Copies of this chain bind each other. A is one copy, B any other.
Amino acid sequence: MERPAALDLSQDAATLTARLVDIPSVSGTEEPLADAVEEALAALPWLRVDRYGNNVVARTRAGRSERVVLAGHLDTVPVADNLPSRLDADGVLWGCGTCDMKSGVAVQLRIAATVPEPNRDLTFVFYDNEEVEATRNGLGHLAAHRPDWLAGDFAVLLEPSDGQVEGGCQGTVRMRLRMKGARAHSARAWMGENAIHAAAPVLERLAGYRPRRPVIDGLEYREGLNAVRIEGGVAGNVIPDACVVTVNYRYAPDRDQDAAVAHVHEVFEGCRVEEFTVEDHSPGALPGLAHPAARAFVAAVGGEPRPKFGWTDVSRFHALGVPAVNYGPGDPNLAHKRDERVEAAAVVRCEERLRAWLTAPTGT
């Protein structure tokens, strides 16, 4: 691939978004974009720039009492015949990655370039492979191998959130519940024990389950406990000796991983589940909106913070002890769509609000 022209960080965030979108960076092919980002940041004398793989981290060292992390991923889902970008007459920018999340990355770069003396020290994180399996996630690699680069008092992920603050995220655990039985010919069912029938109380509990809606830091979360798969059966004339129900418990961030697993066991107590197996598990993240930096952030950007029901990378910051929220331009429902787009004005608005927050005089 031809080396892309250098990024011009004096352009506004919307124009810069178009430039970033036109450097394709489907997961696994982020190198040219990471190069361009690194090169542009290296020109800013108030930043120290580090790189790990295709992950770029830039930090101010102004000696402030607080440090804020602004993070975003460089990759996109596969291009769907929607490149290069196109700005229409209504000021809407179309193309793969406009919304998720090169507009957010453009805002990060603009803050980096235009706030040489922030009121809080700043860390800018640009990472790869967010749109693919968790083991490849660049933020995860940084957390594992360069955790000190991610240190901070508060983090903002610039994922599309329609310009609203989304606090924390729910945890998610998937567990397999195995029912046992005994095979027999179905013409002589009384000689066996039907494992599918044994799942009846499990499905009853699920059907009658009343999820919690706890309020944390002023945000109302909505839990859920659902069967996402059921499998049982040997042959058309055999009483089945096994049936497995896979449940997904989405839980509010006031519960930790152990409490979540314990809750699932509790729900199905007495159901004669032979075996519980955790298939995968990602913890939630508290919104951390009580933190002074977070409070100032919410006050500066405005709006009513919302809870995030789905799991997001804010959880990785939470695991490092850094409260984190999502806040970025773009409608999250347009992410991954062929008609992905973002309003240019929304990108600029986000840039301005973040700059206002990071340049205002800080109280005690």
Contact = CB atoms under 8 A, between A and B. Distances in A.
A248 interface: yes
Given A186-B250, A207-B200, A237 B228 contact: yes
B196 A236 contact: no
Interface in A173-225: 174, 185-190, 194, 196-200, 203-204, 206-207, 211, 222, 224
A170 B185 CA distance: 13
B233 A232 contact: no
Nearest to A279: B236
Contacts of A228: 186, 196, 233-240
A150 B190 CA distance: 35
A311 interface: yes
A170 B230 CA distance: 30
A169 to B, nearest CB: 9
| A186, A206, A239 pick with most chain B CB within 10 angstroms | A186
A119 interface: no
A309 interface: yes
Nearest to A190: B222
A235 B211 CA distance: 21
A214 to B, nearest CB: 15
A174 B236 CA distance: 8
A66 B226 CA distance: 65
B236 A246 contact: yes
A309 to B, nearest CB: 4
Closest 10 pairs (CB-CB, A-B): A229-B233, A200-B203, A189-B224, A196-B227, A187-B310, A197-B207, A187-B309, A200-B207, A230-B232, A186-B248
Interface of A: 170, 172, 174, 185-190, 194, 196-200, 203-204, 206-207, 211, 222, 224, 226-240, 243, 245-246, 248, 250, 279-280, 309-311
